[in-house]
């Protein structure tokens, strides 16, 4: 019998606090390989904390995180090599060229220089930025930088890609381009994507949606089911209703 493939990302009973302030409360979910999941939440919902824990910037205080079955706390190397991440703030080195940024990332993953150069060229060709390879990152537009960050996150061929509010600060055209590009990656390369955002219009009907509010997971289902469960006309109303409900239960708990 073939073993069942483990979830691309599974989170169990995850709680995290900064001193007194609780950022995540008993969050549990699992997302399937080659799926596109939108992590919806307002600012301060705990999205970035969740990403910092998955990438092991912080150690987990309570709960477990597994990437394709590898426990992040116990086997960080095995887990992190399957993971690509695009952080919300820009993390490219502005003074280095596009290509130097990509080669540096490849080296951090132990990819040999020859192979790294090949992968960097392919990656740039794919996002139609080959001619900018020698330019300093500083001279690029916000949308171009984002595309390069995504290309960089994919250089070591991860199977799970996390993006933390990747369209923040981009204009409408660039936003649509980035979103289409990432959806294409899911369809063609079977990369699993977890896309954190507070912009509801970035959700497509075929996506899975996780709603996070004040550190709690309020819903996790296919987008149409989330709408149906909330008996709402559309996702925006469903999200508003969920959040109102979440805040209420918070208030009644406190009382």
Partner 1 sequence: MTDAVLRPAGFSFAQYAICLGGIVWREGLRFLHQRERFISALVRPLVWLFIFAAGFRQVLGVSIIPPYETYVLYEVYITPGLMAMIQLFNGMQSSLSMVYDREMGNMRTLLVSPLPRWYLLSAKLVAGTAVSLLQVYAFLAIAWFWDIEAPPIGYLTVLPALVLTGLMLGALGMLISSLVKQLENFAGIMNFVIFPMFFASSALYPLWRVRESSPFLSYVCELNPFTHAVELIRFALYGQLNVLSLAVVIGCTAAFMAAAIIAYDPSRGFLARRGVGAGEG
Nearer CB in complex with partner 1: 23/174:
23
Nearer CB in complex with partner 1: 153/226:
153
Calpha distance 196→107 (Å, rounded): 27
- As measured in angstroms, the least distance from the Cβ of 221 to partner 1 is 24
Q: Report residue 99 as tokens.
A: 């290509």
Binding site for partner 1 (CB under 8 A): 2-3, 5-6, 16, 18-19, 23, 43-49, 52, 55-59, 61, 68-70, 73, 75-83, 85, 87-91, 93, 95-96, 100, 103-113, 157, 159, 164
CB-side neighbour CA atoms (13 Å) of 133: 17
Calpha distance 155→173 (Å, rounded): 25
Calpha distance 239→8 (Å, rounded): 25
- As measured in angstroms, the least distance from the Cβ of 232 to partner 1 is 25
- As measured in angstroms, the least distance from the Cβ of 3 to partner 1 is 6
- As measured in angstroms, the least distance from the Cβ of 229 to partner 1 is 26
- As measured in angstroms, the least distance from the Cβ of 196 to partner 1 is 10
Q: Report residue 18 as tokens.
A: 């900064």
Are the CB atoms for 239 and 211 separated by under 8 Å?
yes
Q: Report residue 56 as tokens.
A: 């092991």
Calpha distance 111→86 (Å, rounded): 19
- As measured in angstroms, the least distance from the Cβ of 64 to partner 1 is 14
Nearer CB in complex with partner 1: 79/243:
79
Nearer CB in complex with partner 1: 13/59:
59
- Find how far residue 102's CA is from the centre of its chain: 19
- As measured in angstroms, the least distance from the Cβ of 120 to partner 1 is 13
- Find how far residue 79's CA is from the centre of its chain: 15
Nearer CB in complex with partner 1: 46/220:
46
Nearer CB in complex with partner 1: 27/85:
85
Phi and psi (nearest 5°) for 183? -65, -35
Nearer CB in complex with partner 1: 112/180:
112
Calpha distance 159→246 (Å, rounded): 32
Report the relative pairing of strands 9-18 and 36-40 from DSSP bridges. unpaired
């Amino acid at each position: 019998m073939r073993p069942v493939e483990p979830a691309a990302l599974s989170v169990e009973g995850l709680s995290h606090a900064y001193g007194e302030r609780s950022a995540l409360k008993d969050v549990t979910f699992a997302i399937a390989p080659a799926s596109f999941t939108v992590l919806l939440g307002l600012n301060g919902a705990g999205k970035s904390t969740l990403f910092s824990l998955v990438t092991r910037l912080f150690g987990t205080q309570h709960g477990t995180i597994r990437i394709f079955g590898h426990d992040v706390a116990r086997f960080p190397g095995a887990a992190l090599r399957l993971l690509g991440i695009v952080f919300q703030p820009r993390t490219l080195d502005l003074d280095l060229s596009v290509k130097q940024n990509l080669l540096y990332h490849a080296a951090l993953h132990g990819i040999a220089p020859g192979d790294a150069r090949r992968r960097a060229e392919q990656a740039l060709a794919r996002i139609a930025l080959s001619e900018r390879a020698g330019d300093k990152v500083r001279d690029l537009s916000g949308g171009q930088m984002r595309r390069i960050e995504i290309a960089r996150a994919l250089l070591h061929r991860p199977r799970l890609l996390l993006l933390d509010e990747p369209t923040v600060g981009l204009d409408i055209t660039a936003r649509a381009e980035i979103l289409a590009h990432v959806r294409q990656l899911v369809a063609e390369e079977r990369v699993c994507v977890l896309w954190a955002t507070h912009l509801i219009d970035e959700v497509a009907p075929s996506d899975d949606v996780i709603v996070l509010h004040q550190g709690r997971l309020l819903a996790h289902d296919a987008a149409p089911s989330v709408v149906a469960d909330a008996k709402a006309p559309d996702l925006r109303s469903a999200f508003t209703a969920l959040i109102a409900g979440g805040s209420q239960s918070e208030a009644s708990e406190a009382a």
